Amino acid sequence: MPGALQRFVGKTVAITGAAHGIGAATAKRFLAEGARVALIDREDFGDVFAGHAAERVLTTVGDCTEVAALTDFHAHTVGVFGPVDILFNNVGQSGRERAALFHESDEGVWRFVLEVTLFTAMRMSRLVVPAMRERGGRIVNMASDAAFVGDAGLTDYAAAKMGVVGFTRSLARELAPHGVTVNAVAPGAIRTRAHDRLASSVIDRIKATTPAGFVAEPKDVAGVVAFLASDDARYITGQTLLIDGGRWMI
């Protein structure tokens, strides 16, 4: 990223769900701005970060819904790079092909969506918070505009993402006296692999209900996460910033 700022030189960044999409784009943004990045995803990273200095990229393949996987990832990160300065709780997903209208939905899917979307953010945050209370830091959580819009067929996902919003606000109050900010981003339609699997009719409907009239790219979210993690946002905490082309305005 030619001409990028260097706001994160000497900083350690941890990102969950970072092999593709928004997570990978955000990792590359932090790398471009001088950070060391530690990444975990259940999929292999392949050559996603080829060309980046190996001593500044640490990748771990693991399931973020497993407590031991997150614990080991955090311990390895600290052992190699030192304490985490910035945490981006990115991992999460809807029921996807198992999503359904509420009266037809399955409780097992609810539990999965809550586990991967909300509990991972809570668990990973608890791992980094003790050191952040001593040193300061930044936490950015992944919410979704689905929490605010309330899309039909996504009741479990909307509930989980609104849970992320509530978690963000409460943790922000706890950590503000320690120099830690906690914020959330709430993307709308972003061109990721999951989004690309949607039918063209669904994409057209999304565009029609988005004032900006187009589907954003992962880098559009990455830039906002980097801002919230920077000193430029030191007086912003407990907030949820929607990145959805105006689909929902607050």
Burial of 196 (0-12, 13-18, 19+ CB in 10 A): exposed
pTM: predicted TM-score of the whole model, two decimal places: 0.93
Q: Is the dihedral of CA 162, 167, 168, 172 positive or negative?
A: positive
Q: Name the DSSP letter for residue 61.
A: E
Buried-state track 73-83, b at ≥16 Cβ within 10 A, e below 16: bbeebbeebee
**Is 235 an active-site residue?**
no
pLDDT digits (tens, 9 = 90+) for 37-66: 999 999 999 999 998 988 999 999 999 999
Paired with 59 in beta bridges are 39
pLDDT digits (tens, 9 = 90+) for 216-233: 999 999 999 999 999 999
Mean pLDDT of 16-28: 97
pLDDT of the residue at 116: 95
Q: Would you kindly state where each structural domain of the chain is located, as residue ranges?
A: 12-243
Q: How far apart are CA 184 and CA 162, in angstroms?
A: 11
Per-residue pLDDT at 196 exceeds 90 = no
> Of 39, 157, 164, 171, which is the active-site residue?
157
Say what angle helices 218-229 and 21-32 make with each other, to 10 degrees.
Answer: 50
pLDDT of the residue at 202: 67
Residues in the chain: 250
Q: How far apart are CA 188 and CA 247, in angstroms?
A: 8
pLDDT of the residue at 96: 65
pLDDT of the residue at 1: 60
Mean pLDDT of 105-126: 93
pLDDT digits (tens, 9 = 90+) for 78-99: 999 999 999 999 999 875 667 7
Task: Between 93 and 75, name the one with better pLDDT.
Answer: 75
Mean pLDDT of 116-137: 98
pLDDT of the residue at 173: 98
Q: State which fold the 12-243 domain adopts.
A: Rossmann fold (3.40.50)
pLDDT of the residue at 153: 81
Mean pLDDT of 99-119: 87
Distance of CA 53 to the CA centre of its chain: 23
Per-residue pLDDT at 178 exceeds 60 = yes
pLDDT over 70, % of the chain: 94
Q: Residue 128: which pLDDT band, with cuts at 50, 70 and 90?
A: very high
Order of all β-strands in the sheet with 86-89: 57-61, 36-41, 12-16, 86-89, 137-142, 180-187, 240-243
